[in-house]
Amino acid sequence: MTKMPKWLFLFVLSLVVLGCIGVGFKLFTDNEILSDIANFSLILTLAAVLVYVYYTYLIAKEAWTPSASFSLVADPRDKYHVIFILNNHSKLSLNCWCNLNTIVEGEKVSLGGFYSGESSFDLQPFGSANGHFYIKDILAKANKTIEEMNRKISPDTIKKLLYMNIEFWYNSIGSRHFVRNPRQPHYFNFSAGVMVADF
């Protein structure tokens, strides 16, 4: 979140005070040097106000810019159950879309619906939501089982057994402008029973 630095706020405030003092000198004295100082302080005050207005604009703009993210968390009761957490970081209601782009041993697998980019999930401003999927369901679509994957574990296959190159995008409700987050590659490590980010 963009915030005006504290030092800048204090600097702007001191220039505004200096400008007020300068106006006072200009109104109540006839000294030419003091009048020049007052004019200079007014110019500095105007510059300070412009900086303040700019930062206020940035803060307001950021709050109204669509922003969302996701994370994957293992269910503590079942390591093959993955919780998909969505977070809206903006003041806008958002349509969120996802495509897991799942590959099981070189074969593309689609879960359909939200996880294949076929439907959106709506999030309220600053809201969050949880979805989920099961590793066994993904494997079943490729006619594989967890036991079969566990037998195939090796250093060469660890990333190839179940791989996801997750796409995540969103738009404010009613808008046709989509924001796409960078793809996030993951693989399921069957030897440890965890989803691993592959960066």
The pLDDT value given to residue 125? 95
CA–CA distance, 74 with 52 (Å, rounded to integer) = 45
| Residue 86 pLDDT | 97
pLDDT > 80? residue 93: yes
Phi-psi category of residue 174: left, alpha or beta, with phi > 0 → left and psi -120 to 50 → alpha: left
Confidence bin at 72 (pLDDT 50/70/90): very high
Residue 14 has pLDDT above 70, yes or no: yes
pLDDT in tens, 153-194: 999 999 999 999 999 999 999 999 999 999 999 999 999 999
What whole-number distance in Å separates Cα of residue 181 and Cα of residue 172?
14
Coil, strand or helix: which one is 30?
coil
Q: First-to-last CA distance in the chain?
A: 25
Q: Is the pLDDT of residue 2 over 60?
A: no
